Amino acid sequence: MRMGEIPIKKIYENSNFFSILDIDQKIQGHSLVISKNHFENTLSLPNNLGNELLDCTKNTSLKLMQEHSSTGFNFLGNNFETAGQIVNHFHLHILPRKKDDKVNLLS
């Protein structure tokens, strides 16, 4: 590890995407699916990566549901500054959910 790098544990990985726990957890298990190649946002992703993106999000979600005993999950992607995108590299948030967890994603 080089100085300044944050150690991470990958949850899932395929040829073009990987998932990790978010360093700033909004809810237990909050994770990110991140593209290995640089794409600024969802609209920049080539269509031919759709199957691998779905593979990574599904396998990550299943693993998180099992590990956190959750009964559902949310996908959240912020695209462009107006929608809250801070990091200009494609990533998708996965939030494992439990009944009555009182998480309000719209506020």
Which residues are part of the catalytic machinery? Answer: 91
The residue type found at 16 is N
Q: What are phi and psi of 13, to 5 degrees?
A: -155, 140
